[in-house]
Copies of this chain bind each other. A is one copy, B any other.
Amino acid sequence: MAELFTVGEFAKLTHLSVKTLHHYHEAGLLEPASVDPVTGYRRYSADQLAAAQLARRLRDVRMPLAQVRDVLSAPDPAAREAGIAAHLDRLRQDLAGTAAAVASLQALLVAGPPTASAVLRDAAATACVLLSDDVGRDAIGPWCAQAYPRLFGAAGKLGVPPSGAGGALYSGGWFEDGGGTVTAYLPLDLDPGAVATAAAVPGRVTVGVLPAQRLAVLEHRGPFDDLDLTYARLGRHVLRHGTGTDGPLREVYLISPADTDDPTALLTEVCWPVKENA
């Protein structure tokens, strides 16, 4: 007859627990070859051993169940291997992130927080190309990576050279809420008063003016993961003196990931808006 195994037997054969097999059934990931309509008994076929073996290995490399399901039901081997390769790539990025986090931890233990001092600056109104989006905390890196090329492209099409480093505004409760509206900008060598006459820009990039603002500024050198140390130094004093405003926080990327592959070489200005009479 057909080679059918009970859950318990199939569990022994695959080293997946019975509970896990139940879960995979319910998740539509590994459906038994047949289910007895009266008793509900699951029966697995020998043909399903290979799928179970693959599923176990995909879970061992932390692939989410939904993706495992997609891989197992892939229409052809090429699609299957593409799904696996994509996940292994995410795994590599994750690993790099963990290594960076270990380095950040050890740097904090060895060196302690940085000790530079903030300066006040009156930022003038500035014509810019702008790109705004609702971005979560964990998506900010990739979002910026696609935003600035688009802004540079837009500036090029306008025929107006950038007049300085790109930056971004983090509005409202971006850090408190784990995300929100981010506006990436690139300053243009253009009279702010002339902006209304600028040509429309393709995509969602727009041309606008950053308003004049008084800012407390502190330079941050090193990876973005350590920006909290600089925010603490800068914001602590601004808040202590009660001079902070609820305007968006601003970052200026003087040396950005586009300029260097060395995270310790990154240079970022952190700008906290303060009252005019500060």
Which residues from chain A sit less than 8 Å from chain B, CB to CB?
A: 3, 5, 7-9, 11-15, 17-20, 46, 49-50, 53-54, 56-58, 60-62, 81, 84, 88, 91, 95, 98, 101-102, 104-105, 108-109, 113, 137, 173, 175-178, 225, 227-229, 231-232, 235-236, 239-240, 249
Distance of A191 Cα from B19 Cα, bound (Å): 43
- Which 6 A-B pairs rank lowest in CB-CB distance, beginning with the nearest? A60-B101, A15-B228, A11-B176, A57-B105, A17-B178, A13-B232
Mostly, the A contact residues are helix
Closest-by-CB residue of B relative to A8 is B176
**When chains A and B are docked, how far (Å) is the Cα of A14 from the Cα of B61?**
32
A107 and chain B: residue at smallest CB distance: B57
Give every chain B residue within 8 A of A91 (Cβ-Cβ): 98, 102
Using A9-B235, A102-B61, A235-B9 as known contacts, say yes or no to A56 and B228 having CB atoms under 8 A apart.
yes
Q: A54-B108, A102-B88 are in contact. Are A9 and B60 (CB under 8 A)?
A: no
Tell me the bound Cα distance from A170 to B154 in angstroms. Answer: 66
A277 to B195, CA, bound (A): 93
Residues of B within 8 A of A58 (CB): 105
- In angstroms, how far is the closest chain B Cβ from the Cβ of A233? 9
